[in-house]
Chain A
């Protein structure tokens, strides 16, 4: 199937922050989080389209990961609410969020080092009878279910090309393989929405291609993907829609091409040298310009969080206005 074709809805709705989507799976309303005097997240309204791949981009410290943490119950918001698939999930603890079909990965890969790859996978399955204390003691109660889960895990491991390391300790895998494992493990939950926090950080180009294919496959399988990424190359390649966060606020939304041309985004995140031809001239992005964007994207540090010299110029200045 043509997974690369832009979905029609992206052209019919306005390209502005907080715009309503035709079929949102996640609706965020007035969520904010402060750390002392610092406003880490202050999202007035955000909708995530069902069955699409939405990218969340923004400079370091924009609040992307904090927003992830809030939505998945890993942090508590200071106000606001969000609805996932029609259910109010605000304030719901992390483990219940997963039961509702929303599962996340982490910026720093969390493979469970002293569990084997297969054990990592099996952990992802929900509703296991053997995971109850007394149930666990009695093997006949969970043996059949365990076998089913193992079969399901084997299919995923095959797809993610991890079958050959099935019985190795996860801690023995390479960084890239751990990224794959973490994604595959999240899929064991059978989620509706997969939230990936910098899935491509520290991954070599070949593996990146394979990860990209996997993410597109998730969409093809009917899942919704929301991901944080600094690698603009990746963002342009796979996302249907891009949400730009700066200083905790959404400063822009739109399909990738439009975002690349948005002067606010260039100022806050992509870097001013990118806009040499003038903001207007980039309104219509052709393939040529795409390449340029990708070059800029590749210049971005992989997975670097926290202030550093690699921060795009002007990032602080514009965000301060908003």
Chain B
């Protein structure tokens, strides 16, 4: 067993692009679900809005990369408005169903043959990030001890500060009276309305803010792959982000970041560990585990771990047990 490889690989994943964009996507969900109580099950749609806003603007319409970033962000804000206008009057569980469906509708439209010329169909779109990677100041040497590629380092150096910026925005807003209103809406919307707050508009603002975080996540995701594909923005994107948020602790500013680092880290750790163990012949033959099934089996382990977490630490890693206790009263 090559433990150096296992830990290097784990460390690489824990601060790599996957952890980074899941931290962003989960931060957005945290604004929606954790702080505002908007059960958004369609965060993938916001990720797609960001990624496709960028890629379509660059590849199909020849917009410059930097302007296209704003197209991506704007795309998520518009999506929030379009999605929120009819649905924010719904009770939370209905909102969950509608957002889930909306995300799937968007994915299916994007991958449809009809719009292939514009949106790239199932092949997706590539080569939209060249302007960004041309600015890469890092040279060809690999960066030890984690051995990232230079373009990855460049992306991470730009993307993690975005995570920090999203966290800062969340922190500033949630300690303000604006955050107080939003948290109060999570507790009881009617009470807040009776006190003279336009809850509909607050929910819309929250949807836009968390959606914009989701769009940034989609952009980082697309840049890390240097490609956008419709099926990257399926329910798996949303529910992984959800698991990350719950793992870290809901309604905690850096909960999603901690959750993403640990979640992605553990996933990679299990992946490499299982492969190494199989190679070393440490897995008994009667277990239905082989190299081809590792990707699925590690998810089973993570699933069990999440179930145990919900039983023994329902508040997540950073959450406050007291809050869960009060909620259950």
Contact = CB atoms under 8 A, between A and B. Distances in A.
A103 interface: yes
Nearest to A126: B196
Contacts of B323: 114, 169
Contacts of A128: 177
Contacts of B172: 136-137, 139
B192 A132 contact: no
**On chain A, which size bracket covers the interface?**
35 or more
A169 B197 CA distance: 21
Interface stretch (A52-60, A116-124, A282-290, A303-311): A116-124
Contacts of A73: 193
Contacts of B187: 112-115
B195 A119 contact: no
Contacts of A95: 193, 196-199
Given A95-B199, A112-B191, A185-B195, A137 B173 contact: yes
B275 to A, nearest CB: 43
A172 interface: yes
Given A95-B197, A137-B173, A169-B326, A123 B178 contact: no
A110 interface: yes
Interface string A119-144: 11011101011111101110100100
B180 interface: yes
A142 B178 CA distance: 11
Contacts of B198: 93, 95
A131 B178 contact: yes
**On chain B, which size bracket covers the interface?**
20 to 34
B197 A114 contact: no
B179 interface: yes
A137 B322 CA distance: 28
Given A169-B322, A169-B326, A110 B190 contact: yes
Given A94-B193, A110-B191, A130-B176, A137 B181 contact: no
Interface in A141-189: 142, 146, 169, 171-172, 182, 185-186, 188-189
A106 interface: yes
Interface of A is mostly: helix
Given A142-B176, A169-B322, A114 B327 contact: yes
A171 B177 contact: no
Interface in B83-140: none
A74 interface: yes
A319 to B, nearest CB: 28
A130 B327 contact: no
A136 B329 contact: no
Q: Which of B169, B180, B183, B327 has the most CB of A within 10 A?
A: B180
B194 A103 contact: yes
B2 interface: no
A254 B327 CA distance: 44
A39 B197 CA distance: 30
17 contacts: A72-B194, A74-B193, A74-B194, A95-B193, A95-B197, A103-B194, A112-B191, A122-B180, A123-B181, A128-B177, A130-B177, A131-B197, A135-B178, A136-B172, A136-B176, A136-B179, A186-B195
Given A94-B190, A103-B196, 4 more contacts: A110-B194, A128-B177, A171-B326, A182-B191
Interface of A: 72-74, 93-99, 103-106, 110-115, 119-120, 122-124, 126, 128-133, 135-137, 139, 142, 146, 169, 171-172, 182, 185-186, 188-189
